[in-house]
């Protein structure tokens, strides 16, 4: 009889322990399911200019019109694929803030151009995520930089018929800087207006303002010596073959253009913060990877395709002074965790909350009865089995 009781109790303990293991396994599965990325299926709209569109990269999407030169390897496409979001990409090379919310962008006649609608038309109350890189074309920065390429490390700059010693002299007179004035008087207010329009058009979206990477290095990342970063775009004079991926800028202009870009990104950062948007800082993290870098550059240099003196004209290869694929991959890697952090997975449901069991000593004082702490059914049954075995052995000893 006692042996039968021991077997029953021991078996019950084993069954209880097995049931507890199954419950624990089920909880683990539910917890794993609960941490599935919450970005899956989000409605994502990408806005912006050539730095968002992936100008110079292939393959091309032909969206929103062929003339936008948008690449399917740009950071919006990479983000959408990595996070499972539904992408509407209306980025377009050459876009200004006006093309975001007031003026359709004319990129030339079809079939290679087309008129892109205002980018704001892609936004709605159902938009969950927005990324944007904008402001550079309002300042004319890419065009300015491209027009500053020098014929030698100490100049002059290719700007017929005057051929100034450097590009800075074209914009700075005394203490007045034309580009800084334009940034403060025109570009910054335009950014603020644009961000306000985005908030109104997509009131439920989380917006990520992606800064421009460093195109020109700071002093710490500029090689010492009179040459600095300089490599010639026209090593054979005005005759081909021209330089490939060159960096034809004087030391004066490297310092000046870096300062202009720093001011631009500072303005974008300030306005993004004021709008309540998330600013993704690529600029500071790419100072060692500018177009000056001999290895690990995130930005293309200049490749001249054609050049003439009369009339003065120069044609640069697509993607000049824009992120290469390595740079776009870096930008993706910067934006991705920011989006993930903005959409955290909910904590697993802990189930109903049970009132804590009273302390055994307290119950003994109140009732005079013995109470077993709540350590789980399985452990309780196992304990009962052990005590029963001990009792049976004692009985056998006494009988013997």
Supply the residues annotated as catalytic.
Answer: 50, 322
In this structure, which long-range contacts are made by residues 382-385, counting pairs with CB atoms below 8 Å and at least 24 apart in sequence?
Answer: 382/13, 382/16, 382/17, 384/9, 384/13, 385/6, 385/9, 385/10, 385/12, 385/13
2-34 helix and 377-399 helix, angle to the nearest 10 degrees: 160
Would you give the DSSP letter of residue 110? Answer: T
4: tokens are 């039968």
CA neighbours closer than 13 Å in the CB half-sphere of residue 216:
28
For CA atoms 90, 95, 96, 102, the dihedral sign is: negative
Q: Name the phi and psi angles at 224, rounded to 5.
A: -70, 160
User: What's the Cα-to-Cα distance from 177 to each of 163, 166, 182, rounded to whole Å?
Assistant: 20, 14, 9
Task: Please state, in angstroms and rounded to a whole number, the distance separating the CA atoms of residues 92 and 70.
Answer: 6
Helices (H), the chain: 2-34, 50-53, 75-83, 97-101, 136-139, 141-146, 168-171, 178-182, 188-201, 251-275, 325-342, 360-367, 377-399
The full length of the chain comes to: 400
User: What's the Cα-to-Cα distance from 363 to each of 102, 223, 358, 383, 384, rounded to whole Å?
Assistant: 75, 79, 7, 20, 21
Q: Contact at 8 Å (CB) between 134 and 197?
A: no
The alpha carbon of residue 79 and the mean position of all alpha carbons in its chain are separated, in whole angstroms, by 8
Would you give the DSSP letter of residue 82? Answer: H
Q: Contact at 8 Å (CB) between 136 and 142?
A: yes
Asked if omega into 241 is within 30° of 0 (cis), the reply is yes
């Amino acid at each position: 009889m006692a042996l039968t009781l021991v077997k029953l109790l021991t078996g019950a303990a084993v069954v209880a322990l097995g049931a507890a293991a199954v419950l624990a396994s089920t909880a683990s599965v539910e917890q794993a399911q609960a941490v599935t990325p919450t970005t899956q299926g989000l409605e994502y709209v990408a806005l912006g200019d050539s730095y968002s569109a992936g100008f110079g990269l292939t393959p091309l999407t032909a969206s929103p019109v062929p003339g936008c030169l948008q690449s399917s390897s740009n950071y919006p496409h990479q983000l959408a694929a990595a996070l499972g979001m539904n992408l509407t990409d209306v980025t377009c090379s050459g876009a200004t803030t006006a093309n975001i919310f007031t003026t359709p962008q004319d990129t030339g006649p079809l079939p290679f151009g087309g008129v892109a609608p205002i980018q704001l038309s892609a936004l709605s109350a159902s938009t969950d995520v927005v990324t944007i890189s904008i402001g550079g074309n309002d300042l004319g920065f890419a065009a300015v930089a491209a027009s500053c390429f020098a014929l030698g490390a100490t100049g002059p700059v290719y700007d017929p018929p005057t051929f100034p010693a450097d590009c800075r002299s074209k914009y700075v007179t005394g203490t007045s800087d034309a580009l800084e004035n334009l940034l403060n008087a025109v570009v910054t207010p335009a950014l603020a207006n644009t961000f306000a329009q985005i908030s109104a058009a997509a009131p439920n979206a989380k917006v990520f303002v992606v800064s421009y990477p460093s195109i020109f290095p700071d002093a710490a990342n500029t090689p010492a010596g009179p040459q600095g970063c300089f490599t010639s775009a026209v090593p054979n004079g005005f005759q081909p073959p021209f330089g490939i991926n060159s960096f034809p800028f004087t030391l004066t202009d490297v310092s000046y253009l870096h300062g202009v870009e720093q001011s631009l990104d500072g303005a974008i950062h300030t306005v993004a913060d004021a709008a309540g948007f998330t600013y993704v800082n690529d600029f500071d993290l790419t100072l060692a990877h500018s177009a000056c870098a001999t290895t690990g550059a995130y930005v293309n240099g200049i490749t001249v395709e054609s050049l003439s003196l009369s009339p003065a004209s120069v044609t640069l290869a697509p993607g000049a002074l824009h992120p290469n694929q390595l740079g776009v991959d870096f930008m993706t890697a910067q934006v991705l965790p920011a989006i993930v952090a903005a959409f955290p997975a909910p904590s697993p449901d802990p189930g109903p909350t049970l009132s804590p069991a009273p302390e055994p000593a307290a119950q003994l004082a109140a009732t005079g009865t013995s109470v077993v702490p709540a350590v789980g059914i399985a452990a309780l049954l196992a304990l009962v089995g052990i005590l029963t075995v001990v009792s049976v052995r004692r009985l056998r000893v006494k009988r013997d």
